[in-house]
Structure 1
Protein backbone atom coordinates (compact mmCIF):
# COMPACT_ATOMS: atom_id res chain seq x y z
CA UNK A 1 0.00 0.00 0.00
CA UNK A 2 2.81 2.39 0.84
CA UNK A 3 4.46 1.66 -2.54
CA UNK A 4 1.26 2.48 -4.42
CA UNK A 5 0.87 5.65 -2.40
CA UNK A 6 4.44 6.65 -3.21
CA UNK A 7 3.93 5.95 -6.93
CA UNK A 8 0.74 7.97 -6.89
CA UNK A 9 2.48 10.86 -5.18
CA UNK A 10 5.31 10.79 -7.75
CA UNK A 11 2.81 10.66 -10.60
CA UNK A 12 0.85 13.56 -9.16
CA UNK A 13 3.97 15.68 -8.72
CA UNK A 14 5.11 14.86 -12.27
CA UNK A 15 1.74 15.89 -13.68
CA UNK A 16 1.79 19.08 -11.64
CA UNK A 17 5.29 19.86 -12.92
CA UNK A 18 4.24 19.31 -16.54
CA UNK A 19 1.20 21.54 -16.11
CA UNK A 20 3.39 24.23 -14.54
CA UNK A 21 5.85 24.07 -17.44
CA UNK A 22 3.04 24.28 -19.97
CA UNK A 23 1.53 27.27 -18.17
CA UNK A 24 4.93 28.97 -18.07
CA UNK A 25 5.48 28.35 -21.79
CA UNK A 26 2.04 29.72 -22.60
CA UNK A 27 2.67 32.79 -20.46
CA UNK A 28 5.97 33.26 -22.31
CA UNK A 29 4.14 33.40 -25.66
CA UNK A 30 4.06 29.78 -26.86
CA UNK A 31 0.56 30.18 -28.27
CA UNK A 32 0.79 33.86 -29.21
CA UNK A 33 -0.07 34.70 -32.80
CA UNK A 34 2.50 36.42 -35.01
CA UNK A 35 1.03 39.13 -37.23
CA UNK A 36 3.40 40.68 -39.76
CA UNK A 37 2.49 43.93 -41.50
CA UNK A 38 4.00 46.80 -43.45
CA UNK A 39 3.44 50.44 -42.59
CA UNK A 40 4.69 53.20 -40.36
CA UNK A 41 7.48 52.37 -37.90
CA UNK A 42 6.54 51.70 -34.26
CA UNK A 43 9.32 54.09 -33.16
CA UNK A 44 10.69 57.44 -34.18
CA UNK A 45 14.34 58.24 -34.73
CA UNK A 46 16.52 56.99 -31.88
CA UNK A 47 20.01 57.55 -30.49
CA UNK A 48 21.62 54.36 -29.23
CA UNK A 49 24.68 53.28 -27.31
CA UNK A 50 25.97 50.05 -28.83
CA UNK A 51 28.74 47.53 -29.08
CA UNK A 52 29.53 45.90 -32.42
CA UNK A 53 29.84 42.13 -32.58
CA UNK A 54 31.15 39.77 -35.25
CA UNK A 55 30.40 36.12 -34.56
CA UNK A 56 27.49 33.78 -33.79
CA UNK A 57 24.35 35.62 -32.78
CA UNK A 58 24.02 33.17 -29.88
CA UNK A 59 26.93 35.00 -28.24
CA UNK A 60 25.13 38.35 -28.02
CA UNK A 61 23.53 37.62 -24.65
CA UNK A 62 26.52 39.08 -22.82
CA UNK A 63 26.14 42.35 -24.74
CA UNK A 64 22.52 42.66 -23.67
CA UNK A 65 23.63 42.02 -20.09
CA UNK A 66 26.36 44.65 -20.35
CA UNK A 67 24.09 47.36 -21.73
CA UNK A 68 21.32 46.62 -19.23
CA UNK A 69 23.73 46.67 -16.31
CA UNK A 70 24.86 50.20 -17.24
CA UNK A 71 21.32 51.59 -17.10
CA UNK A 72 18.55 49.00 -16.51
CA UNK A 73 15.68 51.46 -17.13
CA UNK A 74 16.56 51.93 -20.80
CA UNK A 75 15.14 49.85 -23.64
CA UNK A 76 17.44 47.32 -25.28
CA UNK A 77 18.02 47.23 -29.03
CA UNK A 78 19.76 44.86 -31.42
CA UNK A 79 20.42 45.30 -35.13
CA UNK A 80 21.28 42.19 -37.13
CA UNK A 81 23.01 42.71 -40.46
CA UNK A 82 23.50 39.18 -41.81
CA UNK A 83 21.33 36.14 -42.44
CA UNK A 84 22.83 33.42 -40.21
CA UNK A 85 21.52 30.77 -42.62
CA UNK A 86 23.56 32.21 -45.49
CA UNK A 87 26.56 33.81 -43.79
CA UNK A 88 28.97 31.70 -41.68
CA UNK A 89 28.23 32.23 -37.97
CA UNK A 90 31.73 33.55 -37.31
CA UNK A 91 31.14 36.34 -39.87
CA UNK A 92 27.65 37.44 -38.79
CA UNK A 93 27.55 41.08 -37.72
CA UNK A 94 25.29 42.90 -35.29
CA UNK A 95 25.09 45.88 -32.96
CA UNK A 96 23.61 45.52 -29.47
CA UNK A 97 22.96 48.16 -26.85
CA UNK A 98 20.46 50.57 -25.32
CA UNK A 99 18.22 53.34 -26.62
CA UNK A 100 19.38 56.60 -25.08
CA UNK A 101 16.67 58.84 -26.53
CA UNK A 102 13.85 58.92 -29.06
CA UNK A 103 12.34 61.61 -31.26
CA UNK A 104 13.26 65.22 -30.58
CA UNK A 105 14.71 64.36 -27.18
CA UNK A 106 18.51 64.37 -26.94
CA UNK A 107 20.39 62.08 -24.57
CA UNK A 108 22.14 63.77 -21.70
CA UNK A 109 25.90 64.16 -21.91
CA UNK A 110 26.20 62.33 -18.58
CA UNK A 111 24.38 59.30 -19.99
CA UNK A 112 26.54 59.28 -23.10
CA UNK A 113 29.72 59.54 -21.04
CA UNK A 114 28.53 56.73 -18.78
CA UNK A 115 28.10 54.33 -21.69
CA UNK A 116 31.32 55.44 -23.35
CA UNK A 117 33.11 54.73 -20.09
CA UNK A 118 32.14 51.07 -20.52
CA UNK A 119 33.24 50.90 -24.15
CA UNK A 120 29.97 51.68 -25.93
CA UNK A 121 29.72 53.88 -29.00
CA UNK A 122 26.88 56.26 -29.83
CA UNK A 123 24.97 56.32 -33.10
CA UNK A 124 21.61 57.65 -34.33
CA UNK A 125 19.03 55.79 -36.43
CA UNK A 126 16.39 57.68 -38.42
CA UNK A 127 12.67 56.95 -38.50
CA UNK A 128 12.05 55.25 -41.86
CA UNK A 129 8.82 56.05 -43.65
CA UNK A 130 7.84 52.39 -44.09
CA UNK A 131 8.88 49.16 -42.38
CA UNK A 132 7.94 45.50 -42.13
CA UNK A 133 7.10 44.93 -38.50
CA UNK A 134 5.82 42.40 -35.96
CA UNK A 135 5.57 42.08 -32.19
CA UNK A 136 5.87 39.25 -29.68
CA UNK A 137 5.12 39.05 -25.94
CA UNK A 138 8.11 39.70 -23.69
CA UNK A 139 7.22 38.25 -20.31
CA UNK A 140 10.09 35.87 -19.50
CA UNK A 141 13.52 34.92 -20.80
CA UNK A 142 11.84 32.07 -22.68
CA UNK A 143 9.96 34.71 -24.70
CA UNK A 144 13.20 35.64 -26.45
CA UNK A 145 13.87 32.03 -27.48
CA UNK A 146 10.30 31.60 -28.72
CA UNK A 147 10.36 34.91 -30.61
CA UNK A 148 13.57 33.96 -32.40
CA UNK A 149 12.01 30.76 -33.70
CA UNK A 150 8.57 32.09 -34.54
CA UNK A 151 8.85 35.73 -35.61
CA UNK A 152 11.84 35.54 -37.94
CA UNK A 153 10.32 32.78 -40.13
CA UNK A 154 7.09 34.80 -40.30
CA UNK A 155 9.03 37.90 -41.37
CA UNK A 156 10.92 35.86 -43.96
CA UNK A 157 7.71 34.48 -45.46
CA UNK A 158 6.06 37.93 -45.61
CA UNK A 159 9.07 39.56 -47.26
CA UNK A 160 9.61 36.73 -49.74
CA UNK A 161 5.96 36.53 -50.75
CA UNK A 162 5.83 40.24 -51.54
CA UNK A 163 9.34 40.39 -53.03
CA UNK A 164 10.37 43.17 -50.66
CA UNK A 165 13.87 44.32 -49.86
CA UNK A 166 13.76 44.93 -46.11
CA UNK A 167 16.95 45.25 -44.05
CA UNK A 168 18.59 45.28 -41.59
CA UNK A 169 16.57 43.47 -38.89
CA UNK A 170 15.99 45.34 -35.63
CA UNK A 171 14.73 44.05 -32.30
CA UNK A 172 13.59 46.51 -29.64
CA UNK A 173 12.70 45.30 -26.16
CA UNK A 174 10.12 47.50 -24.46
CA UNK A 175 8.29 46.56 -21.29
CA UNK A 176 6.21 43.47 -22.17
CA UNK A 177 6.72 43.49 -25.95
CA UNK A 178 9.51 42.71 -28.41
CA UNK A 179 9.25 44.85 -31.54
CA UNK A 180 10.73 43.54 -34.78
CA UNK A 181 11.35 46.06 -37.55
CA UNK A 182 12.86 45.82 -41.05
CA UNK A 183 13.21 49.21 -42.79
CA UNK A 184 11.97 49.52 -46.36
CA UNK A 185 13.58 52.94 -46.80
CA UNK A 186 16.74 54.77 -45.67
CA UNK A 187 18.25 51.36 -45.01
CA UNK A 188 21.84 52.47 -45.28
CA UNK A 189 21.30 54.85 -42.36
CA UNK A 190 20.91 51.84 -40.06
CA UNK A 191 24.40 50.52 -40.74
CA UNK A 192 26.80 51.49 -37.99
CA UNK A 193 30.34 52.55 -39.06
CA UNK A 194 31.84 49.17 -38.20
CA UNK A 195 29.61 47.45 -40.77
CA UNK A 196 30.76 49.79 -43.49
CA UNK A 197 34.34 49.20 -42.42
CA UNK A 198 34.01 45.40 -42.67
CA UNK A 199 32.53 45.82 -46.14
CA UNK A 200 35.31 48.15 -47.18
CA UNK A 201 37.85 45.53 -46.14
CA UNK A 202 35.89 42.77 -47.84
CA UNK A 203 35.66 44.80 -51.02
CA UNK A 204 39.43 44.78 -51.47
CA UNK A 205 39.88 41.18 -52.74
CA UNK A 206 36.81 41.44 -54.98
CA UNK A 207 38.09 44.62 -56.57
CA UNK A 208 41.56 43.14 -56.95
CA UNK A 209 40.17 40.20 -58.93
CA UNK A 210 38.38 42.62 -61.27
CA UNK A 211 41.40 44.85 -61.73
CA UNK A 212 42.48 43.35 -65.04
CA UNK A 213 43.72 45.92 -67.53
CA UNK A 214 42.53 45.95 -71.12
CA UNK A 215 44.53 47.20 -74.08
CA UNK A 216 43.87 50.84 -73.21
CA UNK A 217 44.93 50.44 -69.58
CA UNK A 218 41.37 50.75 -68.26
CA UNK A 219 40.37 48.48 -65.40
CA UNK A 220 37.58 46.05 -66.23
CA UNK A 221 35.55 47.13 -63.22
CA UNK A 222 35.69 50.74 -64.36
CA UNK A 223 34.28 50.03 -67.83
CA UNK A 224 31.02 48.36 -66.86
CA UNK A 225 30.23 49.94 -63.50
CA UNK A 226 30.78 48.39 -60.08
CA UNK A 227 31.20 44.63 -60.03
CA UNK A 228 30.46 44.46 -56.30
CA UNK A 229 27.20 45.25 -54.53
CA UNK A 230 27.45 47.07 -51.18
CA UNK A 231 24.56 44.92 -49.93
CA UNK A 232 25.97 41.58 -51.07
CA UNK A 233 26.41 40.42 -47.46
CA UNK A 234 23.64 42.41 -45.85
CA UNK A 235 20.68 40.83 -44.18
CA UNK A 236 18.68 42.84 -46.71
CA UNK A 237 16.88 40.69 -49.24
CA UNK A 238 19.12 37.77 -48.32
CA UNK A 239 17.13 37.18 -45.13
CA UNK A 240 14.30 35.62 -47.11
CA UNK A 241 16.45 32.78 -48.46
CA UNK A 242 16.37 30.46 -45.48
Structure 2
Protein backbone atom coordinates (compact mmCIF):
# COMPACT_ATOMS: atom_id res chain seq x y z
CA UNK A 1 0.00 0.00 0.00
CA UNK A 2 2.81 2.36 0.94
CA UNK A 3 4.61 1.58 -2.32
CA UNK A 4 1.52 2.42 -4.38
CA UNK A 5 1.12 5.73 -2.55
CA UNK A 6 4.79 6.52 -3.11
CA UNK A 7 4.51 5.74 -6.82
CA UNK A 8 1.39 7.91 -7.06
CA UNK A 9 3.27 10.81 -5.48
CA UNK A 10 6.16 10.37 -7.92
CA UNK A 11 3.79 10.27 -10.90
CA UNK A 12 1.93 13.35 -9.68
CA UNK A 13 5.24 15.16 -9.18
CA UNK A 14 6.45 14.20 -12.64
CA UNK A 15 3.20 15.41 -14.22
CA UNK A 16 3.43 18.69 -12.32
CA UNK A 17 7.01 19.27 -13.47
CA UNK A 18 6.10 18.36 -17.05
CA UNK A 19 3.14 20.76 -17.13
CA UNK A 20 5.18 23.53 -15.51
CA UNK A 21 7.93 23.15 -18.09
CA UNK A 22 5.36 23.17 -20.90
CA UNK A 23 3.99 26.48 -19.62
CA UNK A 24 7.53 27.83 -19.87
CA UNK A 25 8.09 26.68 -23.45
CA UNK A 26 9.60 23.22 -22.99
CA UNK A 27 8.10 20.14 -24.68
CA UNK A 28 6.06 22.27 -27.08
CA UNK A 29 6.22 22.49 -30.85
CA UNK A 30 7.13 25.98 -31.99
CA UNK A 31 6.07 26.57 -35.59
CA UNK A 32 7.70 29.60 -37.23
CA UNK A 33 5.94 31.08 -40.24
CA UNK A 34 6.03 34.06 -42.56
CA UNK A 35 3.10 36.37 -41.89
CA UNK A 36 1.81 39.68 -43.20
CA UNK A 37 0.11 40.42 -39.87
CA UNK A 38 2.75 39.84 -37.18
CA UNK A 39 1.61 40.04 -33.58
CA UNK A 40 1.99 43.52 -32.10
CA UNK A 41 3.75 44.86 -35.20
CA UNK A 42 0.70 44.84 -37.46
CA UNK A 43 0.41 48.51 -36.45
CA UNK A 44 2.80 51.26 -35.29
CA UNK A 45 3.82 51.04 -31.63
CA UNK A 46 5.00 53.74 -29.26
CA UNK A 47 7.54 52.33 -26.84
CA UNK A 48 9.88 53.49 -24.10
CA UNK A 49 13.29 51.85 -24.17
CA UNK A 50 16.80 51.80 -22.78
CA UNK A 51 19.75 51.03 -25.01
CA UNK A 52 21.83 48.12 -23.73
CA UNK A 53 25.35 47.11 -24.71
CA UNK A 54 26.59 43.74 -23.48
CA UNK A 55 25.40 40.16 -22.88
CA UNK A 56 21.72 39.69 -23.63
CA UNK A 57 21.08 37.85 -20.37
CA UNK A 58 21.60 41.16 -18.57
CA UNK A 59 18.70 42.96 -20.27
CA UNK A 60 16.26 41.55 -17.71
CA UNK A 61 17.48 44.27 -15.36
CA UNK A 62 16.03 46.86 -17.73
CA UNK A 63 12.73 45.00 -17.99
CA UNK A 64 12.59 44.80 -14.20
CA UNK A 65 13.03 48.60 -14.06
CA UNK A 66 10.12 49.07 -16.46
CA UNK A 67 8.01 46.60 -14.47
CA UNK A 68 8.63 48.60 -11.32
CA UNK A 69 7.44 51.80 -13.00
CA UNK A 70 4.32 50.17 -14.48
CA UNK A 71 3.53 48.00 -11.44
CA UNK A 72 0.50 50.09 -10.47
CA UNK A 73 -0.90 50.55 -13.99
CA UNK A 74 -4.40 49.06 -14.27
CA UNK A 75 -3.82 48.13 -17.92
CA UNK A 76 -2.10 44.93 -19.12
CA UNK A 77 1.58 45.53 -19.82
CA UNK A 78 3.64 44.20 -22.72
CA UNK A 79 7.42 44.42 -22.61
CA UNK A 80 9.75 44.11 -25.57
CA UNK A 81 13.34 43.77 -26.70
CA UNK A 82 14.98 44.56 -30.04
CA UNK A 83 18.10 42.44 -30.48
CA UNK A 84 20.46 43.72 -33.13
CA UNK A 85 23.20 41.11 -33.11
CA UNK A 86 23.56 37.35 -33.35
CA UNK A 87 25.19 36.15 -30.09
CA UNK A 88 26.64 33.18 -31.97
CA UNK A 89 28.78 35.43 -34.18
CA UNK A 90 29.23 38.61 -32.13
CA UNK A 91 31.38 39.11 -29.04
CA UNK A 92 29.11 39.36 -26.01
CA UNK A 93 30.61 42.76 -25.09
CA UNK A 94 29.35 44.17 -28.40
CA UNK A 95 25.80 42.79 -28.34
CA UNK A 96 23.35 45.66 -28.75
CA UNK A 97 19.71 45.80 -27.80
CA UNK A 98 16.89 48.22 -27.01
CA UNK A 99 14.63 47.01 -24.22
CA UNK A 100 11.57 48.42 -22.53
CA UNK A 101 7.79 48.61 -22.56
CA UNK A 102 5.06 49.10 -25.16
CA UNK A 103 3.27 52.31 -24.22
CA UNK A 104 0.90 53.01 -27.09
CA UNK A 105 -0.52 51.69 -30.32
CA UNK A 106 -1.59 53.65 -33.40
CA UNK A 107 -1.06 56.89 -31.51
CA UNK A 108 -3.25 55.90 -28.56
CA UNK A 109 -1.64 55.52 -25.13
CA UNK A 110 -2.21 52.26 -23.26
CA UNK A 111 -1.19 53.74 -19.91
CA UNK A 112 -1.68 57.04 -18.10
CA UNK A 113 0.61 59.95 -18.94
CA UNK A 114 2.15 59.91 -15.46
CA UNK A 115 3.82 56.60 -16.30
CA UNK A 116 5.40 58.09 -19.41
CA UNK A 117 6.90 60.86 -17.29
CA UNK A 118 8.18 58.38 -14.74
CA UNK A 119 9.74 56.22 -17.45
CA UNK A 120 11.44 59.28 -18.91
CA UNK A 121 12.68 60.33 -15.47
CA UNK A 122 14.17 56.86 -15.06
CA UNK A 123 16.19 57.11 -18.26
CA UNK A 124 13.82 55.49 -20.76
CA UNK A 125 13.51 57.11 -24.18
CA UNK A 126 10.54 57.29 -26.53
CA UNK A 127 10.62 55.48 -29.86
CA UNK A 128 8.06 54.53 -32.49
CA UNK A 129 8.24 51.07 -34.04
CA UNK A 130 6.88 50.96 -37.59
CA UNK A 131 4.13 48.71 -38.85
CA UNK A 132 5.64 45.57 -40.38
CA UNK A 133 4.22 44.28 -43.64
CA UNK A 134 6.02 40.93 -43.64
CA UNK A 135 7.91 39.00 -40.99
CA UNK A 136 8.96 35.63 -39.63
CA UNK A 137 6.98 34.94 -36.47
CA UNK A 138 7.11 32.31 -33.74
CA UNK A 139 5.16 32.07 -30.49
CA UNK A 140 6.33 30.33 -27.32
CA UNK A 141 4.41 29.77 -24.08
CA UNK A 142 5.85 31.65 -21.12
CA UNK A 143 5.26 32.41 -17.47
CA UNK A 144 7.70 35.31 -17.53
CA UNK A 145 10.23 33.42 -15.44
CA UNK A 146 13.83 32.40 -16.02
CA UNK A 147 12.82 28.96 -17.33
CA UNK A 148 10.90 30.58 -20.18
CA UNK A 149 14.01 32.39 -21.36
CA UNK A 150 16.04 29.19 -21.16
CA UNK A 151 13.52 27.50 -23.46
CA UNK A 152 13.65 30.54 -25.74
CA UNK A 153 17.44 30.42 -26.08
CA UNK A 154 17.92 26.65 -26.10
CA UNK A 155 15.03 25.54 -28.29
CA UNK A 156 12.86 28.26 -29.82
CA UNK A 157 15.65 30.22 -31.47
CA UNK A 158 17.27 27.12 -32.96
CA UNK A 159 13.89 26.22 -34.50
CA UNK A 160 13.45 29.73 -35.89
CA UNK A 161 16.95 29.90 -37.34
CA UNK A 162 16.52 26.51 -39.01
CA UNK A 163 13.26 27.72 -40.56
CA UNK A 164 14.95 30.89 -41.82
CA UNK A 165 17.85 28.91 -43.30
CA UNK A 166 15.65 26.23 -44.87
CA UNK A 167 13.48 28.88 -46.52
CA UNK A 168 16.44 31.03 -47.58
CA UNK A 169 15.07 34.13 -45.89
CA UNK A 170 17.14 37.21 -45.17
CA UNK A 171 16.64 38.52 -41.64
CA UNK A 172 18.55 40.95 -39.48
CA UNK A 173 17.08 42.04 -36.15
CA UNK A 174 14.88 40.08 -33.77
CA UNK A 175 12.04 41.76 -31.90
CA UNK A 176 10.61 39.97 -28.88
CA UNK A 177 7.40 40.80 -27.03
CA UNK A 178 6.75 39.52 -23.51
CA UNK A 179 3.24 39.12 -22.09
CA UNK A 180 1.96 37.18 -19.08
CA UNK A 181 1.58 33.92 -20.99
CA UNK A 182 3.76 34.00 -24.10
CA UNK A 183 6.84 35.31 -25.87
CA UNK A 184 6.38 36.44 -29.46
CA UNK A 185 9.51 36.48 -31.61
CA UNK A 186 9.37 38.59 -34.77
CA UNK A 187 12.01 38.92 -37.49
CA UNK A 188 10.95 41.80 -39.78
CA UNK A 189 11.64 41.00 -43.43
CA UNK A 190 11.10 44.53 -44.73
CA UNK A 191 12.50 47.91 -43.62
CA UNK A 192 14.33 46.39 -40.66
CA UNK A 193 16.56 49.45 -40.34
CA UNK A 194 13.57 51.42 -39.10
CA UNK A 195 14.05 49.53 -35.84
CA UNK A 196 17.45 51.11 -35.23
CA UNK A 197 17.40 53.42 -32.21
CA UNK A 198 19.63 56.49 -32.21
CA UNK A 199 22.13 54.85 -29.85
CA UNK A 200 22.88 51.99 -32.26
CA UNK A 201 26.44 51.76 -33.60
CA UNK A 202 28.10 49.58 -36.21
CA UNK A 203 30.50 46.91 -35.01
CA UNK A 204 33.40 48.93 -36.47
CA UNK A 205 32.36 51.94 -34.38
CA UNK A 206 32.12 49.81 -31.25
CA UNK A 207 35.52 48.20 -31.82
CA UNK A 208 37.11 51.58 -32.53
CA UNK A 209 35.60 53.04 -29.38
CA UNK A 210 36.79 50.06 -27.32
CA UNK A 211 40.31 50.37 -28.73
CA UNK A 212 40.37 54.10 -27.90
CA UNK A 213 39.29 53.37 -24.32
CA UNK A 214 42.06 50.79 -23.95
CA UNK A 215 44.61 53.27 -25.32
CA UNK A 216 43.41 56.06 -23.02
CA UNK A 217 43.53 53.68 -20.07
CA UNK A 218 47.12 52.65 -20.82
CA UNK A 219 48.09 56.32 -21.19
CA UNK A 220 46.59 57.12 -17.79
CA UNK A 221 48.43 54.19 -16.22
CA UNK A 222 51.76 55.38 -17.61
CA UNK A 223 51.11 58.95 -16.46
CA UNK A 224 50.27 57.76 -12.96
CA UNK A 225 53.75 56.24 -12.50
CA UNK A 226 55.30 57.58 -9.24
CA UNK A 227 57.42 60.70 -9.72
CA UNK A 228 60.46 59.18 -8.04
CA UNK A 229 60.39 56.04 -10.16
CA UNK A 230 62.38 57.57 -13.02
CA UNK A 231 65.03 59.00 -10.67
CA UNK A 232 65.38 55.64 -8.94
CA UNK A 233 65.90 53.91 -12.27
CA UNK A 234 68.61 56.43 -13.24
CA UNK A 235 70.41 55.94 -9.91
CA UNK A 236 70.34 52.17 -10.36
CA UNK A 237 71.88 52.55 -13.82
CA UNK A 238 74.76 54.56 -12.30
TM-score, scaled relative to structure 1:
0.73
Q: Give 1:33's aligned residue.
A: 29
- In structure 2, list runs of 5 or more residues that go unmatched: 210-238
The alignment status of 1:126 with 2:123, answered yes or no, reads no
**Alpha-carbon offset, residue 63 of structure 1:** 1.2
Residues 139, 185 of structure 2: 8 Å contact kept: yes
| Partner of residue 39 from structure 2, selected from 22, 37, 42 | 42
Question: Mean Cα displacement is larger for which, 41-50 or 24-33?
Answer: 24-33
- In structure 1, list runs of 5 or more residues that go unmatched: 206-242
Q: Give 1:213's aligned residue.
A: none
In 2: Cα distance, 1:126 partner to 1:190 partner: 8
The alignment status of 1:101 with 2:101, answered yes or no, reads no
Query: Cα gap change, 1:157/1:59 in structure 2, threshold over 3 Å: closer, same or farther?
Result: same
In 1: Cα distance, 2:96 partner to 2:10 partner: 43
* Structure 1 stretches of at least 4 aligned residues deviating more than 4 Å after TM superposition: 7-16, 106-109, 202-205
In 2: Cα distance, 1:84 partner to 1:78 partner: 14
Please state whether the residue corresponding to 2:127 is helix, strand or coil: strand
The alignment status of 1:112 with 2:112, answered yes or no, reads no
Q: Give 1:84's aligned residue.
A: 87
Q: Give 1:224's aligned residue.
A: none
Greater Rg by CA? 2
| Partner of residue 140 from structure 2, selected from 117, 136, 141 | 136
In 2: Cα distance, 1:12 partner to 1:38 partner: 44
Question: Mean Cα displacement is larger for which, 118-127 or 7-16?
Answer: 7-16
CA RMSD of aligned residues (A): 2.6
**Alpha-carbon offset, residue 163 of structure 1:** 2.1
The alignment status of 1:53 with 2:57, answered yes or no, reads no
| Partner of residue 193 from structure 1, selected from 189, 198, 214 | 198
**Alpha-carbon offset, residue 88 of structure 1:** 0.8
In 2: Cα distance, 1:90 partner to 1:139 partner: 28
